[in-house]
Every structure is written in structure tokens, then in C-alpha cells.
Structure 1
Amino acid sequence: MAETRTTRPPRTKRPVRQLMAASVGNAVEWYDWYAYTFLAAYIADAVFPKGTGDSLVPLLSTFAVFAVGFFMRPVGGLVMGAVADRRGRRAALTVTILLMSGSSLLVGLTPTYASAGPVAPVVLVAARLLQGLSVGGEFAASTTFLVESAGPGRRGLFSSFQYVSTTAGQLVASGMATLLVDTLAERSMDGWGWRVPFWFGGLLSLVGFWIRRGAQETRSDEQRRAPRPGLFEALRRHPRASLLIAGITAGGTLAYYTWTSYLPTYAELNAGVAKSDALLAGTVSLAFFGLLQPLGGLLSDRFGRRPLLLFFGLGFALLCVPLLHALDGSFAVLLVVQMAGMVLLTGFTSVSAAVNAEVFPPRVRAAGIGFPYSLAVALFGGTAPYVGTLFKQWGHAGLFPWYVAALCLLSSLVYLRLPETAHRPLHR
């Protein structure tokens, strides 16, 4: 009897507290990450020179730095995932939020190009690299932590809080950006206003750190006693699972970052929507999106993960082009387009964490999720704003919706062959 108690996974006595520990910290992490996206135009004016005479060049430079941060995420997913598998999920979550606090403050303190010359973009790149390391590790650790904290038949519901909290952070970032744009004069916004969200984010990260210190570890006693896995053990021993996660993620991450991050900029560049209207539509649709996530998680616990993934993938493959082509410059049309996309997107986001965690065994679960997921996000999600803006600069903005639709169709082929894992016990 004693041996049985030491080898079984720890019971989560306070599931609500576990959700809070993961969700609050995750929200803070993503608030810091997305504040950069919503304020990209102001950062471009402050940090990058305008010597070419092309107004899109600074914005392209800013989105290029956005993409650079994404390419640090696979490193964070691998390294911090290994920390979670070796030292525990809670230890990894503590490190990631401290990294995000420091990187957010660094973005807020980045000098302007006028005052520091080339040093300014160097500091910004360094800050984004740290943010990428933190966010890549955050997804690996928090996904594992959330799903392992769930009771029987509730993994989908718990996993949906990955994007509930992500959306909450994004919503606060969008709301703050909207408030600053609407209340500050353009000169103040260009000078110091864009820095305020990053200073605030650095302080919020410390609050998240304090909350996470009280979380319960989800690794079993058996895992703690077992030899520590190697850094690349998940890739070496589970190559098919790694490829599966990359295929599941590719279309979903491109659609996600297009709809939740890039669409306001896309609407400004291609449909003439006012900047304040674009930010407001993004904020309203994000609130709607966050409310949908638990519903998607509950549906997946009852009917399975695969039906929701196919709803997303085939829905986007068929509707992405007509939805984006429907934008006509009005606030109402933009809001309808965004909310329609959010409904479809929920089929992916509400189950993503559960599907990923159910693919790998517990010994290498965090690192196994972190690297292929973050690599797919870097290749397709992180480059979405840059690719969309680049199509615009080349004079072929209409090709971008087809690019999103095609990748979602390819991911749908993966979903069709995906084994259903919703009603199987989670490997401990």
C-alpha cells in the first residue's frame, strides 16, 4: 500500500488554485508579448530610421524583430521544457515569468534611434530574444502543468484555460493600447506613451511570480526518482510525436496570429480602417474569443478533440479568403469578420494544450511539447505579420488570405489521421 501511494501521481487538492497559478502567470506573460504587437507602429517610428523614403520599411523592421523573438521560442521550449521535466513544472514556471519581467522592462527602456543610433534596435532585439525564450518555455511548462492538474474527463476544460489566460493578457494589452491612443496626443504617444505598457508589464510579472510560488507540483514521485531525461531525448525517442505536434500546430498558429494580432494592421493597410477602430474591434473580439474557450474545452471532453480540430481547419480553409476579402473599411464589417474567425479558431485553441500533452509520456512531456510546437509557431505564426506586410509591399496583398487557407487545409489532413485521445487516461 505504501509503495502504491509513492508511485501514483500527486492528487490536485485545489484545482482552482492550480488554474489560477497557471492562468495568472500565463496572462502576464502574454500581456508583455502582445503589447509589442499592438504598439508596433509606434516602436517602428522610435527605434528604426526612415531613410529610404518608404513608410513601410520601419514597420517591416519592427515585424522582423517580432519574428526574431519567435525564433527564440523553440530554444525556450526545449530548454525550459527540460527544466520542467527534470526539476518540476513549478520551477520552470517560476523562471519563465522572471525572464519575462526583465525583458518587458528592457523593451520599455529601449532608447530611440535619434538618441542612440544603431544601439536602439540592438537593445530591442535583445529584449525580444529574452521574451521569446520566456514565452517558448512558458507554453511547454504551463500546458503540461494545466493538463496534469485536471481531473478525469476535464483535460479539455483545463487545457482551454491556456488560451483563456493568453487572451486575457492580450485583451489587457489591446485595451491599454487603445486607451493610450485615444487619450494621449500623437506627440506624447510617439515620445513616451508606447513605453508605459512595458513598464507596467514588468511589474505585473512580479505579481505572477508571487502567485506561482504557491502552486502544487504535478510530477509524480516516480518521475522525481527516475533518471533525468536528456535535452534531446524527446526528439530522439519520439520523432513521430514531434512531427505530429508540428503538423497539428502549423495551420492553427498561422490563423491564430493572423486573427488575434495582425488583423488590425492588415485592416489598416488593405481596407483603410482607422487605427483606433481597428484596435477597438480587436479588443471586443478578443473578449468574445476568451469566453468561447471553456465551451470548446467542454465539447472536446464530451465529443473528442478531432471533431473540433476539423471544424477549425476545414472552416478556415473554406472561409478565410472570403472573410478577409469582405473588409471594406468599416468598423462593423471588421468586427463581424474578426468574431467569425474567432468562432472557427476556438476549435483549435481550446484543445491545443490537451492534444499536445496527450501525445507524449510524462518523462519528456514538457520538452517534447515545447520544441516542435514553438518551432511551428516560429515558422508560421511569428512570420504572419511580416509575410502579410511583405505581400502588401510587393503589391499582392490578396495572396495572404490564400496562404492562410492553404496551410489550414494541410493541417486538416493531419487532423483526419489523428488518433482520438480525449477518452483515454493520461499517461502518468
Structure 2
Amino acid sequence: MLAVVALWLRRQLDETSQQETRALKEAGSLKGLWRNRRAFIMVLGFTAAGSLCFYTFTTYMQKYLVNTAGMHANVASGIMTAALFVFMLIQPLIGALSDKIGRRTSMLCFGSLAAIFTVPILSALQNVSSPYAAFGLVMCALMIVSFYTSISGILKAEMFPAQVRALGVGLSYAVANAIFGGSAEYVALSLKSIGMETAFFWYVTLMAVVAFLVSLMLHRKGKGMRL
């Protein structure tokens, strides 16, 4: 049913690329992508850190609250359901803020705040006993992640010319998301099993530093841009 609705919505949209752009020789080619390798590498860096943080504080967090903080599974699930609902609601708000301050500033906020607060938040959650305190800590983390998630799609699209936009964004996102985001839970649980759980905290922090450094290379633009 949702697929039918999506198809109907797509049929109402104007084509975002022009015929002249799609007719270019390098449109959708690896050669064209190579000419934009700087953008490709930057998107890899953004996505590696962003996906890792996102999966850490969404998918993995429920297990973390149960296995590490010792909470009952139902309590942990309730906390995460509420946190993810609020997380959903704040996306347009943080996105609107990005329209005011720019994509570069938003990504710098994400990278710096994630680098500074990941270890303290995860460390505090290790011994948290109050569901309300746990919810507050998780929301702090998700607020930080929102500086990335609220603009992720538009930021990456703005970095590629139209003729290689789909390939550039799709490939870089898929590779980084699969390697770093998809492996987050496996890496976290593996390190926990050998008594090195806190190493995962620093791994996430390191990737946040990477995102911050990559963000420094962004042009000072992104306010009200047209694709």
C-alpha cells in the first residue's frame, strides 16, 4: 500500500534533472564520479561518522541499556520508543536551523559535540538507574545526531553536480553506511565480550573527529541553496 502511495506521489513530481544534463557523456559514469572524487571522499567521511553515531544511539542503544545498564527489556524499549518519537519531531526544527546557520556550521556542531560528549554520555548510561535520566541522556545524544540527520540528504546532494548526483550520493552513502553504520552493533558487542566496552566509546568519538575535520573543508555556503 505504501509503495502505491509512493508511486502516486512520484508521478506528481517534476523531473529534477534536465534532459541536457542526463544526455551528457559523463552522466552517471564512474569517470564523471572520479572528477568529483573530493566530494565523494567527503561524503564518505560524513556518512561514516553520521551512520555510526545514528546506529549507536538508536539501534544499539536498547541493547546497551539492557546489557550494560541492567534495565529490564520492556523499560529500555519504552525509553527508546519515546526518544525516537521525539527525535522524529525535532528533525524539521534542526533542519530549519540549518537553513539559518548553513550546512557547514551544522556539520561542525555535529562533529564537535559528538566528539566531546559521546564518551561522557555513554559512560553515564553505563550506571544509570532512573528511566527518566536514561531518556534525558539518550535525547542529548540524539539532539547532537540531529545536526547530521536533519540535513544529511540535502547536504550530500548539494555536493555533486546533477549529472553524477545519484551515483555520487548513492554509492558513497551505501559504502560508508554498510561498513560503519551496519557494523556498529557488532563492533560494540564484540568489544564488550572481551572486556573492552569503553573502546567502542572512543571509536565513535574518533569518527566524530573525522566528521569535524571533513566539515572544515566544506565551503561556507548552504543557506537557501537551489539544486
Same fold, judged at TM 0.5 (above): yes
Q: 1:332 to 1:350 in 2, by over 3 A?
A: same
The CA distance in 2 between the partners of 1:362 and 1:383, in whole Å, is 31
Q: 1:338 to 1:400 in 2, by over 3 A?
A: same
Q: Is the 8 A contact 1:270 1:397 kept in 2?
A: no
Could you give the per-residue CA deviations for residues 171-194 of structure 1, whole angstroms, max 9, x where no partner exists?
A: xxxxxxxxxxxxxxxxxxxxxxxx
- Larger helix percent: 1
Report the identity percentage: 37
TM-score (norm 2): 0.90
The CA distance in 2 between the partners of 1:208 and 1:345, in whole Å, is 27
The CA distance in 2 between the partners of 1:426 and 1:350, in whole Å, is 17
Q: Is 1:321 matched up with 2:119?
A: yes
Q: Is 1:367 matched up with 2:167?
A: yes
Which of residues 207, 211, 217 in structure 2 aligns to 1:417? 217
Q: Which amino acid aligns with 2:15?
A: E
Q: 1:312 to 1:375 in 2, by over 3 A?
A: same
Q: Partner of 2:136: helix, strand, or coil?
A: helix
Q: Is 1:208 matched up with 2:6?
A: yes
Task: Give 2:184's aligned residue.
Answer: 384
Could you give the per-residue CA deviations for residues 127-183 of structure 1, whole angstroms, max 9, x where no partner exists?
A: xxxxxxxxxxxxxxxxxxxxxxxxxxxxxxxxxxxxxxxxxxxxxxxxxxxxxxxxx
Could you give the per-residue CA deviations for residues 293-347 of structure 1, whole angstroms, max 9, x where no partner exists?
A: 1122222212211111111111111111111111224322221111111111111
Q: Partner of 2:60: helix, strand, or coil?
A: helix
Which of residues 105, 127, 131 in structure 2 aligns to 1:331? 131
The CA distance in 2 between the partners of 1:387 and 1:231, in whole Å, is 34
Task: Give 1:285's aligned residue.
Answer: 83
Q: Is the 8 A contact 2:28 2:166 kept in 1?
A: no
The CA distance in 1 between the partners of 2:218 and 2:9, in whole Å, is 36
Q: 1:400 to 1:239 in 2, by over 3 A?
A: same
Q: Which has the higher contact order (CA 8 A, sep 6+)?
A: 2
Cα offset for 1:221?
3.6
Q: Which runs of 5+ in 1 are unaligned?
A: 1-202
Which of residues 41, 45, 49 in structure 2 aligns to 1:251? 49
Q: Is the 8 A contact 1:324 1:401 kept in 2?
A: yes
Q: Which runs of 5+ in 2 are unaligned?
A: none
The CA distance in 2 between the partners of 1:311 and 1:425, in whole Å, is 20
Q: Is 1:240 matched up with 2:38?
A: yes
Alignment of 1:13-412 (within 5 A): 204-227=2-25, 229-327=27-125, 328-412=128-212
Q: Is the 8 A contact 1:234 1:368 kept in 2?
A: no
Q: Is the 8 A contact 2:191 2:200 kept in 1?
A: yes
The CA distance in 2 between the partners of 1:373 and 1:227, in whole Å, is 24
The CA distance in 2 between the partners of 1:237 and 1:258, in whole Å, is 33
Cα offset for 1:267?
1.3
Point out the structure with max Rg over C-alpha.
1
Cα offset for 1:206?
4.4
Cα offset for 1:213?
3.8
Q: 1:269 to 1:337 in 2, by over 3 A?
A: same
Q: Is the 8 A contact 1:233 1:364 kept in 2?
A: no
The CA distance in 2 between the partners of 1:287 and 1:423, in whole Å, is 28
